[in-house]
Structure 1
Amino acid sequence: MSLSLADGKDERDLSENSLANGSNSFAGSEESAGAEAVGYLETVHTPPLSATQRRKIDALSKLVQTTPGLELTSTERSWMDEACLSRFLRARRYNVQKAYRQLHETIQWRRKFGVERLMLDPELKDVKHQSETGKLYVHGVDIYGRPAVIMKPRYQNTSERKTANEQIRHLVYTLERAITLMEPPVEKLCLIIDFPGYSLRNAPSIKVQRQTLKILQDYYPERLGIAVCIDSPTIFWTFFEIIKPFIDPRTAAKIHFCSRKGKVGTNQHMQTFMRQLFHPDQLELELGGRSTWRYSNEEYFRELIVPNYLSANRECALIVAFSHDETEDEADQVFHDALSHCDNVKES
């Protein structure tokens, strides 16, 4: 499984360039498409922050850090870096007060949900159970260096009625893992939803769909680069029309629809579109690429978890403190236990 990221690639939304607007400027042979795409990327750079934007970032940071009763941990302060603050501000069009409310809510949600604890859980029993069939995972990167999050609803293997919370934990875990694979200046991910086999039996409820949408829009703002929906069935459109009013227009603009039966040579054709977005070696055969990689739960977690634990540092270990009352010595012990666990996994 290739997880390496392209260095120095711009990651601005594809909805802003010719691909999402129906043009085939990168279409043609695989080699020429890749060459033209790289040439395009080399001429595009993320614009530096203006003086006004930097002042707003400083103002937002001060607001959060001086909020009575919030008391950020060292890990939360590290998470809330300049890039994070900038994303929340961009999501609220640089309105400091609106960005503050969203960021404050996100911090509280991350604590209640237990995001840090989830990401350093050496067992991940519920997440591994949810992922057994390969219904949601991270694999490969697009030409912008953005990690690809792949969803295949037909492989739904658990009952929402019994495991709705586990399903959301699986989603959050996957988003967080995708983020750990990003290398600056990459900040966003590419979401691919492959719909064949989608039915009422495996479709999430409106409640879960709205919860998922809120997490993506409010708690992970400016993380979605593009969403590609392949072979969307009628039942999907029924649900989509219901939740569409809750989708931010800028998010909606990032959603692209294509089909295996679309007209070849147009962006409505899956392979045509996907090979403009991905190098074929980074894309599975069934998604229009030429990679023969197949999902394996054991191999997937071995590749994702072990490198992240082995590259962890002492500050990262402190987030394993399950309450703010634990001492640094206790946190250090948990950290070393986690590393020992990884060593055992790697050797097995």
Structure 2
Amino acid sequence: MFRKKHNSHDNQEHDAKDQEQKIKELRAAIGPLSGSSLTFCTDACLRRYLEARNWNVDKSKKMLEETLKWRTTYKPEEILWHEVATESETGKLYRANFHDREGRTVIVMRPAKQNTSSHDNQLRHLVYVLENALLSLPEDQEQMVCLIDFTGWSLSNSPIKTARETANILQCHYPERLAVGFLYNPPRIFETFWKVVKYFLDSKTFLKAKFIYPKNKESMELLRKHFDLDVLPVEFGGRNQVQYNHEEFSKMMIAEDTVKASLRSSEEKTPQPGLAVQAS
């Protein structure tokens, strides 16, 4: 019995060493970095890309390089609230003011409240919310939870093109950031939509999607295991009566934009190491 425990401990240490070696290999493979790419590629970041590709360095390198290219052109960290505020007026997508039982940041989506027709602006709004949600993560957390309320949803709310690009952004440029996604009260017609969408998802992302039906005791119990009913909104079967307030949320986002701008300014003023020096 004691030998088994000893072997288990040895295996864990061995796995940890292997993982650290993989991180070093990936850092060497991507080569010298500078600017925002240098700041982005922390060890934790590299670990997430390796996990997303089952610790295959070559595949992880390709994935990370695609993200760095995307971030260089899309500049997600520079999107400001006033550029996407219109998209959020109905509360179709926002960062919640509560956490799950593990203290993770929660993003709420209510696609039936779609209020615009601009594919590009909708995606910029999504990226803005994701970036801010990640900045709000507690120090001991790397993942967030997504609550999606499909009450009143129809195919007209979610064009396939937007759904495909949303899935692409989430799994390709924010790997291992989603802990679990709860799909609450999906109508019967959603089954047809899901059959198409699931082909856009990699297996890991697909398995994180949990269907929750209000009249199904088992699925509701799963939701309650993750959330205290006192903080869970009533539209998700909880007891929290507080509704999304666009004015209050806007004030919070404007304040956070100021903080982000200050952080970027500090990073730009800080002397950058030579191009051959890597992020720790």
User: By the TM > 0.5 criterion, same fold?
Assistant: yes
The reply on whether 1:125 has 2:82 as its aligned counterpart is: yes
- TM-score relative to the length of structure 1: 0.69
Alpha-carbon separation, structure 2, partners of 1:311 and 1:216: 21
In the alignment, which residue of structure 2 is the partner of 1:256? Answer: 210
Task: Specify the SS of the correspondent of 1:176.
Answer: helix
Match of 1:180 among 130, 135, 140: 135
In the alignment, which residue of structure 2 is the partner of 1:300? Answer: 249
Alpha-carbon separation, structure 2, partners of 1:312 and 1:83: 23
The reply on whether 1:144 has 2:102 as its aligned counterpart is: yes
How big is each residue's C-alpha offset from its partner over 1:260-300, in whole Å with a ceiling of 9 and x where there is no partner? Answer: 122x3x2x23xx33221112232212212222221111211
Alpha-carbon separation, structure 1, partners of 2:242 and 2:31: 45
Match of 2:223 among 274, 277, 286: 274
Alpha-carbon separation, structure 2, partners of 1:259 and 1:83: 35
Structure 2: where are the runs of 5+ without partners?
A: 1-11, 271-280
Alpha-carbon separation, structure 2, partners of 1:301 and 1:99: 37
Shift of 1:307: 4.5
Q: Which amino acid aligns with 1:57?
A: I
**Is contact 2:155–2:193 with CA below 8 Å preserved after alignment?**
no
How big is each residue's C-alpha offset from its partner over 1:94-151, in whole Å with a ceiling of 9 and x where there is no partner? Answer: 1111101100100110111121211xx3xx3331000000000111211111111111
In the alignment, which residue of structure 2 is the partner of 1:105? Answer: 66
Alpha-carbon separation, structure 2, partners of 1:310 and 1:94: 35
In the alignment, which residue of structure 2 is the partner of 1:26? Answer: none
**Length, aligned pairs only:** 257
The reply on whether 1:63 has 2:29 as its aligned counterpart is: yes
Task: Specify the SS of the correspondent of 1:111.
Answer: helix
**Is contact 1:65–1:72 with CA below 8 Å preserved after alignment?**
no
RMSD: 2.2
Alpha-carbon separation, structure 1, partners of 2:181 and 2:19: 28
Structure 1: where are the runs of 5+ without partners?
A: 1-46, 322-327, 330-348
Task: Specify the SS of the correspondent of 1:251.
Answer: helix
Task: Specify the SS of the correspondent of 2:151.
Answer: coil
Q: Which amino acid aligns with 1:187?
A: E
- TM-score relative to the length of structure 2: 0.85
Give % identity: 35
Alpha-carbon separation, structure 2, partners of 1:307 and 1:106: 24
